[in-house]
Chain A
Amino acid sequence: MESQIKKIHQQLVSKEITCTGLIQEKLALLKQNTHNTVNSLLDEMALALAKKSRC
């Protein structure tokens, strides 16, 4: 499989997606906790970082 990091990086640089949009999407998936993978969600921190990020 191709690099997910590079693929998303390109999408962020070309403004196809935004940081905040991406983080919100992932947090929504994690919130459902379908596979019991979540001990604690870092939503406040992640959204604050995304908001201030350059993407």
Chain B
Amino acid sequence: MKWLWLWLKKVDAKIKNGEEMGLLEGIPFGVKDVYMLQGTFATASSNLLKKYKSAYTATAIQKLLDAGAIPLVKENCDAFGHGSSSENTVFGPVKNVISPALVGGGSSGGSAVNVAKDFTVFSIGGDTGGSIRQPAGYNKVFGLKPSYGRISRYGLMAYASSTDCVGPIAKSIEDIRIVLNIMSGKDARDQTSYVSEEISENLSSSTIKKVGYFNNFIDNEAISKEIKADFLTTLEKIKAKGIEVKELDFFDSDVLVSTYYTLAMAETASNLSRLDGTNYGARIEGYNLKDTYAITRSEKFSEETKRRVVGGNQVLSQGFSDEIYLKAQGLRGQISKRFSEEFQKVAIILSPVTPTSPPKIGESLKDPLAMYLSDAYTVGFSLGGLPTLTIPKGTSTGLQITADKKKDAEVLQFANFLNDIL
């Protein structure tokens, strides 16, 4: 592999120059199996790409390789990011680290569990609507969805391009910071990426005086009594430290979930249209080319992926796109605007990660709608492109800490503060 040869030359050069060993040199990490890493399988946990090998390396992964980190494993996940349990995979369901009868969460379930079990020191997941944050919460580790555009998406298989984010999963805020700094930065191959400042090691002082939470997330029948009680207790602990906690109004979680899934399904239908048996992955020959496309996709995509592709094409089709897709785009604009208004009042928004504890393996597959609704607390922050960190404290499935766009440092600072008081 050409990149391996180039990497080895760089190491030799460092030795000759007497450079000190970098922090990430020799550190083993995992990679969600939706990233390109040249010469290795990139299956997206799907039958269609089960034998597909990457022709190039994702920018974020290359930056980690350049820093000397060592990739060990392509990690199990929901196929193409389609799922919240890591059961929608041809490699078998990922098991939760706390109890193997429960789901590992998704879609970056394999990544979260590997970190939780110390099989990897950190892993790189992907988050479109909660796919780093939720499995991090379910497996009691830290997981960051950075501000949209902070890390290049080049080489990440696209699910919903307008919300997809590359992000680290690790066992400490400091490790999240280190990996985030390495991966961040503008990339000419991803026009949505931007130049960002390195986040300093000094996260110990937080100047945040006002935080908020969405009352309608908490005053809701869907949330479990235990998670609700734990979240409210957490708010009291924060108040006791002299920080003002403000109740905020926001869109109902039903609106957030339906807006997100309308847009995400539309985008994934478009992104996966390239997988037709012609250029990538498996091919099943039909009577003619059109038949080949249809049979290949029908046989090789999972039920959940097909559901999303069909749903996405539906909302984009003539007669429906005005009523559904454009309406969802309009709502997204309103959601973003409301976030901007709320962040004039508070510096940080807190939220539980999930309304309930992880389900048993098999339960989610019986009720896809229930699975979509379980993303109620994560999708809103995705639609806003906001930096959001799950910390494994505050409730049994963790706590989300969110700040305004490009304020990733503030998220980590406040997380540090919360980590000490909870």
A binds B: yes
Whether A22 and B171, one on each chain, are in contact in the complex, defined by CB atoms closer than 8 angstroms, is no
* Given known A-B contacts A13-B21, A23-B72, A54-B14, A29 and B117 have beta carbons under 8 A apart: yes
A12 smallest CB distance to B (angstroms): 5
Measured CA separation A43–B23 after assembly (Å): 22
* Given known A-B contacts A1-B172, A4-B172, A48-B4, A37 and B119 have beta carbons under 8 A apart: yes
Whether B94 and A36, one on each chain, are in contact in the complex, defined by CB atoms closer than 8 angstroms, is yes
A1 smallest CB distance to B (angstroms): 5
Whether B74 and A26, one on each chain, are in contact in the complex, defined by CB atoms closer than 8 angstroms, is no
**Contacting residues, chain A, for B122 (C-beta < 8 A):** 4-5
* Given known A-B contacts A1-B172, A5-B175, A9-B21, A39 and B26 have beta carbons under 8 A apart: no
Whether B45 and A39, one on each chain, are in contact in the complex, defined by CB atoms closer than 8 angstroms, is yes
From residue 1 to 43 of chain A, which have CB atoms closer than 8 A to chain B? 1-6, 8-9, 12-13, 19, 22-23, 26-27, 29-30, 34-43
Interface 1/0s, chain B 21-64, versus A by CB < 8 A? 10111111010010001011101010000000000000000000
Whether A46 and B72, one on each chain, are in contact in the complex, defined by CB atoms closer than 8 angstroms, is yes
- Does B373 touch A at the CB level, under 8 Å? no
Whether B95 and A22, one on each chain, are in contact in the complex, defined by CB atoms closer than 8 angstroms, is no
- Does B75 touch A at the CB level, under 8 Å? yes
Whether B117 and A35, one on each chain, are in contact in the complex, defined by CB atoms closer than 8 angstroms, is yes
Whether A37 and B73, one on each chain, are in contact in the complex, defined by CB atoms closer than 8 angstroms, is yes
Measured CA separation A40–B54 after assembly (Å): 13
Whether A4 and B121, one on each chain, are in contact in the complex, defined by CB atoms closer than 8 angstroms, is yes
B38 smallest CB distance to A (angstroms): 10
Which of these, B26, B100, B117, contacts A55 with CB under 8 Å?
B26
Whether B25 and A55, one on each chain, are in contact in the complex, defined by CB atoms closer than 8 angstroms, is yes
Whether B73 and A30, one on each chain, are in contact in the complex, defined by CB atoms closer than 8 angstroms, is yes
Whether A35 and B74, one on each chain, are in contact in the complex, defined by CB atoms closer than 8 angstroms, is no
Measured CA separation A5–B74 after assembly (Å): 20
Whether B26 and A36, one on each chain, are in contact in the complex, defined by CB atoms closer than 8 angstroms, is no
How many inter-chain contacts with C-beta < 8 Å in the A-B complex? Answer: 157
Which of these, A2, A29, A50, A54, contacts B70 with CB under 8 Å?
A50
Whether A12 and B25, one on each chain, are in contact in the complex, defined by CB atoms closer than 8 angstroms, is yes
**Contacting residues, chain B, for A49 (C-beta < 8 A):** 4, 7, 70
Measured CA separation A6–B4 after assembly (Å): 25
Chain A's closest residue to B100 (CB) is: A35
Which of these, A22, A36, A40, contacts B28 with CB under 8 Å?
A22
Measured CA separation A36–B109 after assembly (Å): 10
Measured CA separation A35–B43 after assembly (Å): 18
B9 smallest CB distance to A (angstroms): 10
Whether B68 and A53, one on each chain, are in contact in the complex, defined by CB atoms closer than 8 angstroms, is yes
Whether B174 and A6, one on each chain, are in contact in the complex, defined by CB atoms closer than 8 angstroms, is yes
Whether B7 and A5, one on each chain, are in contact in the complex, defined by CB atoms closer than 8 angstroms, is no
Whether B73 and A45, one on each chain, are in contact in the complex, defined by CB atoms closer than 8 angstroms, is no
B107 smallest CB distance to A (angstroms): 13
From residue 147 to 195 of chain B, which have CB atoms closer than 8 A to chain A? 170-172, 174-175, 178-179
Measured CA separation A48–B398 after assembly (Å): 38
Whether B114 and A45, one on each chain, are in contact in the complex, defined by CB atoms closer than 8 angstroms, is no
**Contacting residues, chain A, for B118 (C-beta < 8 A):** 29
Beyond the given pairs A37-B117, A54-B68, 6 more chain A to chain B contacts, judged by CB atoms under 8 angstroms and listed by A's residue number, are A26-B28, A34-B95, A35-B100, A39-B41, A46-B70, A49-B7
Q: Which 8 A-B pairs have the closest CB atoms?
A: A37-B110, A3-B174, A19-B26, A55-B26, A35-B95, A36-B92, A39-B33, A40-B74
Residues of A within 8 A of B (CB): 1-6, 8-9, 12-13, 19, 22-23, 26-27, 29-30, 34-43, 45-46, 48-50, 52-55
